[in-house]
Each structure stands twice: as structure tokens, then as C-alpha cells.
Chains A and B, each alone.
Chain A
Amino acid sequence: METGSVDDVTGLFKSLDGFAIFEIAVIFAFALAIVWLTQRVLPWVASHLHGKRRLYTLALVPMIRILVLVVALVMIMPRIIEPTLQNMVATLGAAGLAIGFALKDYVSSLIAGVVAIHEMPYRPGDWIEVDGSYGEVTHIGMRTVELVTNDDTVIWVPHLKLWDNLIHNANNGGPSLMCIAEFYTQPEADAYQIRDALEEVALTSPYLQLGKPIAVTAAEQPWGTKYRLKAYPIDPRQQFQFITDMTARGKKRLMELDVRFAKIESDEAYELKH
């Protein structure tokens, strides 16, 4: 009985001669070379492009990688295992057991990586927030997604987060990303005058994407009125500069209109005064 089981297991695999090993090595090396090349060439090409063309080029990187790896796997498998239904079921069952116990999180991340490529909750070039970290997706790896924040800090987020975390995608694969500059004024100020002035501020910013709308909203707060100036920059990478430009010129314009800004005093200052 025991001898029979060992024979069954060994019968799954083909006897690997030198040529088969050489073939597998060539397929593996070739696949890695294509992946390596696309991971270097496409981001380089994308760095010379802007807007949609840049985003589409970047999105090709993980797509090509997964395609190449699947093709390589399909080519390698019949060289190792006799491709019968019985053999495939036995191999996959054994692999599943090993993965279930030992490499659950790792494999979950890998699978989430494949799902991420299919569902595209994030693509290279997107600006996303996961678990409080906000940055640009610069690379989608097999297990992790690489974000670069505005402070030039690199964050590797496992694809695993995809299963049970909210992913906030600010531009969702397109070049349009809404930016919001906030202003806080005292409640007596004329809201329509402020709205008109702030719209003008956005319209005259060199970063503005002219084809997109500009909007100003106002909301009353206990300490005054909060205005939100919403507009789109030409390129999502300009978002922080765009907000800076709108904030600086917006403040200057409101001061020219004698609008008084709301200030919240600290508790100590309040006690000193009263």
C-alpha cells in the first residue's frame, strides 16, 4: 500500500532530463527578462508623457507582467507534470493545503494583486489613500502596491488591504483630480462676493484645467463660515502646487476685499482675555 502511494506521487511528475530543465530555465529567464524590461522601459516612456497617455502607459506594466507570468506557467507546467485531470487535481490539492497553512497572507496578497489588475481599484499614476496614507501609485508589484507621498516617502501597501479596507482613489485612472482650497472667514462677510472672488482666483490660476468646472461651497460653522474652492489641475501631480496657488492668491484677494478671517483662540488666550 505504502509503495503504491509513493509510486502514485512520483507518477505525478515527469522525469526531468537535462533538456527539460534547460527548457524550463530558458522559459523562466525569458519571462523574467520581459517583465524586467517592461518594468523599466514603460515607466521611462511614461515619464516623458503627460495626461492620459502617461496613465495608460503606466497601466500596461502590471498587465504585461501578469500575462507573461501566466503564459510562462502554462508553458512550464506540462514539462514538470503529466497533464492529466487526476494529476492536476492532486497537485493543486497539495499546493492548496500548503498555502492554506503556511503562506496564507502572502498568497492572499498575490491573489489580491491579480484582482487589483482586473478590477483596477488603483493603477500606476493614480492618487490613492489607504489606511490614512495618501500618495501616487508608482508601481504595482506582485504582492504590494508602492505609493510615494507628497513628502517623497515610499509606502508599500500589501494588496491584501484590498479585501477589507476602503481604497480612496482621487483620479481613478484619469487625468482629472479635484483639488480643494479651504478658507475660513468671519460669519458677517458677504458670501456671494466671496464666492465670485474665489471663482476668479481659480479661473486665473495657471494650473487650472479649463475644461473642468469650478465650484465654491459655503458652510456655517460655530466659529464662522467655511468656504471650499473646488477645481481641477491640468495634471494630478500639480495638485499641491495648485492648492498652494489658490490659497495664496485667494487669501490676498479676500484681504483686498476687507474680508476678516475666522480665528479660533486657544483656551489660554480666552482665559487671559476674560
Chain B
Amino acid sequence: MAEEPKKTWQWVTVDDYEKPAVPTVIKVKKWWGKFIRWITPEQEQESEDDQSSALELSFDDAADALEQCFSEWLEDDEDNSLRWIIAPPHSGVEEAVKKWAEKHSLREMNLPDREPLCDPGDSTLPEFLSKSDDNKPWIMPQLAHGFLRQTNGLRWVREFFSTVLSGEAGKGVIVCDSWAWAFLEKVWPVPVSQLWTLQGLDQPALEELGLARGDGRLRALAALSRGNAGVAAAYSDRYQRSSEKPFETPSMPSEINDATAFVCYALLLHRGLNKGQLVKVLPIISGSQLEIQLQVLHQRGLIELEQELWYVTARGYPVVRELLASRGFWLDRF
């Protein structure tokens, strides 16, 4: 019997997640590029960050795939278990789950305001779900927005784990950023089952989505994006899908210090922060130094400001991840 062809959008448990293989040629090219950057004096230049020709992805098919995956569990009234969905930055997981949740009108769990979350005087924590007799399944849209890595900032998320894992909150789906999850596994080290994510996009999947053409281009895009749909889309070019030209990634500032890495890590860990929250999370860095780091990273196209929150950009994500890996930070699994 012929093997069933692999689907482009496939939901898998986190343990079954596979990153596309990185060919040795690409690894060597990467090391060589780094070496050249070391020995040649870097010219300070602002990021071009031209994404006008990048393709936009629709995650409708991913939402449909989730429907097939979770329909049995959702319809089973006896089954009160939880489903955890881990969302790497820009991977499209959040968008797909949101579409699926809207279709089923799941109750959205309340997230606390981040500002008073760290206030030591404020002992009351917001309730997770509005008082209602409705026993419909609920969804936590982004657990990474429920905490700040600050002395008082983990109270709500601890309460959350305690409530939902005890079964008090009933049946629900929790979406959590992959970086936040890596950290929260240390905060609440109770192993959970049913941890899901979108399978990494390999070369055939990237080709099917029209993000690149030709073996060389596909291999390079798969390696650069590590199978992350949003990153692959950000580097796609509708006019040069078969081009053999190497991908131009934003470069890190020439003067990198602990503050640069801390800012990048904090933005990934919290899935976006505003300046005030960054000050709370990184009190060891002075306000002016934080401002400088934000401006420098922004100029390089590594971070962007969206609705008052700073985020790591899709094009900057591979570069930032590599920086954090080289400096020994605690990384996500993807």
C-alpha cells in the first residue's frame, strides 16, 4: 500500500516535531559568512527590511487540519482533558488556533493586565473565566501574556497552572509561546501531556505553499527558517522564488553586550513588551541603556513596534535566536 503523502499543515505532538535537516554545505557557508564578518570591518547600515514582495500566508488550511485533529476530543462531553498548543514566534500557530476557536465559539479566558501584575500591594488576581453557567470549553489565547519575569510577576501564572491542572476550570485549550513555555516548564515543573504544535515546514511543504522554487533555494529557505512558516514567508520573494542569491538576513549591531541579549530574550519570552514593562523586567539595565538597545535593534530591523509593544521581527528571528544560542540562553525546542 502506498504511503499517504505528507500534508503541508500537520498538527503533531511536540515530541514528534521535526526541524528540516540543514545540509553541511549550508552550515559551512554560514560559518564562512560569520568568519568574513569577523575579519572585515562592519559598515553600519540601516536595515533595508523590504518586505513588500514577501508572500502572505493564509492559515485557513492549518485551522482545518486542527479541526480534524481535535474534533473527536471537542465533541466528547465526557473528556475534560486539556490541550496545550505551543506556538513558536511567527509560526502561524496562534492565527490557526484563533480561527478554529472562533468557529467553535470557545469562551476566551481572561488575561490579567500586565501593569498591576507586579504591584506587591495588589493581592487580588483577576479570575480566569467570567462567572457563567456555560460549561463550554474555553481557550487561553496566549499564556505568555499572563506573566512578567519579575519578582511578583509570576503569581497569576502559578495560580493558572494550579487551577487548570487540577481540573477546576474544566475542558480547555491553552496556547503558549514556545519561549514562554520553555521558561514556564521551570516555573511549574509538572509534565503535561497533549502538547501540540504545527509540524515544521520541509522543502516539499515550502514548495507547495509557493514560498520558493528549485532545490537549492528550497533547501536554503528550509534551513534558514527552521521550518517556521512565518519566517519562511518573510524571506520569500514573489519575484525571485528561484533565485540562487543567498538570503540577506539583518545583522546584529557591532557592539553586542549582555543588555542586547537580555532585551531580545525578554521580548521573545513575553511575546512582546512595551518600554515600561521592559524596565520592570530588566531593572539592572538603566532606562537610557534600554532605549539605546531598542533603537539600535530597531534600526537593524531585528525588532519592531506594533500597537505599543516591541516584538522580534520575523526576518530578525533567526538572527536573534542564533545570538541567544551562542550566548548560552535557555532556548525553545523549535
User: Which A residues form the contact surface with B (CB < 8 A)?
Assistant: 48-51, 175, 197, 200-201, 203-204, 206-207, 209-211, 234-235, 238, 241, 244-245, 248-249, 252-253, 256
Contact = CB atoms under 8 A, between A and B. Distances in A.
A241 B149 contact: no
A204 B120 contact: no
B234 to A, nearest CB: 27
Given A48-B38, A244-B284, A249-B283, A235 B150 contact: no
B262 interface: yes
Nearest to A249: B151
10 contacts: A49-B326, A51-B327, A51-B328, A204-B151, A206-B282, A206-B284, A234-B328, A234-B329, A244-B284, A245-B284
Contacts of A244: 284
Contacts of B120: 256
Contacts of B330: 209-211
Classify chain B's interface size: 20 to 34
Interface of B: 38, 120, 149-151, 153-154, 182-183, 186-187, 258, 262, 265-266, 281-284, 326-330
Contacts of A235: 327-328
A248 B38 CA distance: 37
A253 B38 CA distance: 43
A206 B265 contact: yes
Interface of B is mostly: loop
Nearest to A175: B328
Given A201-B151, A252-B151, A253-B151, A234 B284 contact: no
B151 A200 contact: yes
Which of B151, B154, B284, B329: most chain A CB closer than 10 A?
B151
Given A206-B266, A238-B258, A50 B151 contact: no
A51 B29 CA distance: 23
Given A234-B327, A253-B151, 16 more contacts: A50-B326, A51-B327, A175-B328, A201-B151, A203-B187, A206-B266, A206-B281, A206-B282, A207-B258, A211-B330, A235-B328, A238-B258, A244-B284, A248-B284, A249-B151, A249-B283
A233 to B, nearest CB: 10
Contacts of A234: 327-329
Contacts of B283: 245, 248-249
B153 A204 contact: yes
Contacts of A206: 149, 262, 265-266, 281-282, 284
B327 A241 contact: no
A197 B154 CA distance: 12
A241 B326 contact: no
A253 B150 CA distance: 11
B154 A204 contact: yes
A123 B119 CA distance: 45
Nearest to B186: A210
A4 B256 CA distance: 72
A165 to B, nearest CB: 31
A204 to B, nearest CB: 5
A204 B183 CA distance: 10
Contact of A204 (B149, B326, B329): B149
The 4 A-B residue pairs whose C-beta atoms are closest, nearest first, are A210-B330, A51-B328, A256-B120, A206-B262
A204 B326 CA distance: 21
A53 to B, nearest CB: 8
B183 A210 contact: yes
A235 B153 CA distance: 25
A203 B38 CA distance: 34
A269 B187 CA distance: 45
A50 B284 contact: no
A124 B149 CA distance: 34
Contacts of B281: 206
A51 B266 CA distance: 20
Given A204-B149, A204-B153, A249-B151, A209 B265 contact: no
A139 to B, nearest CB: 22
B282 A50 contact: no
Nearest to B323: A50
B158 to A, nearest CB: 10
B327 A203 contact: no
Contacts of B328: 50-51, 175, 209, 234-235
B273 to A, nearest CB: 13
Contacts of B38: 48
A210 B327 CA distance: 13
A256 to B, nearest CB: 4
A245 B38 CA distance: 32
A88 B262 CA distance: 61
